[in-house]
Structure 1
């Protein structure tokens, strides 16, 4: 049986400090030896052009800044379908084209991967290339969570149940 193709995508604008945490997380995550069926993608602030990159992916794990008006560093784990029930006052993403639109188009084109999103409440959205120390301190825990999901996919064929 062929291993499912797993993609870990970091998104965000690296020019706005913590808004780029998804991309900065990948820099740390890429230092580890990952299974051959795991691909990393810096999505940056790309929008619909990401669609063709995920069409052959079975499982997609997205890391992004998530504005839930929570304490900086609050970590959220959810599926794209959960976004439809989040109250309007929460800006789910800071990007022009959200991942929901990308996944919807992928579905129309024939294949949207099973998707899980890890969102982190940013501390700072000021101009700057550095991630806040408080946010960067979460990366080891986030790495554990992402690796747990990868293991669950590899051995159980699905995301962890939580």
Structure 2
């Protein structure tokens, strides 16, 4: 019997800037659901390269973050880091100074980077404040379903779902 892969769901963002913290706030929603023992939840917050050592022991990393795709608030994107060359240059993939892509690149340089999937959400508000916009909050149940489907696929097939459409 194969060992269960180590799976981490990481929410990143600044909880002081309303929807910018949606990745971290999403984890509260996910934590209400029963998760397999091999799944760990991590608040990445706005941590940068200090996350590298935390992801090196993980087989699969699912990241939830606010992304600036210049789309309607609540637009949901599902992509892997290698897909980033398909993003037009005007898309800022992360609002943080050191984004998850740089963290993954550093982990790879150090010899161990997990297979990674990113769920990005277009925020509505980036104003100072601790509250998530209602439109973004309303997306959390659907996003939870997507993340749980990915975890299930990894458990059964040892890989991410091939074509789960997030939009």
Q: TM-score range by the shorter chain?
A: over 0.9
Q: CA deviation at 1:109?
A: 1.0
Residue in 2 aligned with 1:13? 14
Segments ≥4 residues shifted beyond 3 Å: none
Name stretches of at least 5 consecutive residues in structure 1 with no aligned partner.
Answer: none
Aligned residues: 162
Residue in 1 aligned with 2:92? 91
Say whether 1:131 aligns with 2:132. yes
Q: TM-score, normalised by structure 1?
A: 0.98
CA distance in 2: counterparts of 1:55 and 1:119, whole angstroms: 22
Residue in 1 aligned with 2:78? 77
CA distance in 2: counterparts of 1:116 and 1:66, whole angstroms: 14
Q: Secondary structure at the match of 1:127?
A: coil
Name stretches of at least 5 consecutive residues in structure 2 with no aligned partner.
Answer: none
Q: CA deviation at 1:85?
A: 2.7
Residues 42-94 of structure 1: CA deviation (Å, up to 9, x unaligned): 00000000000000000000000011000000000000011123121111110
Q: CA deviation at 1:139?
A: 0.2
Residues 23-47 of structure 1: CA deviation (Å, up to 9, x unaligned): 0000111111110000000000000
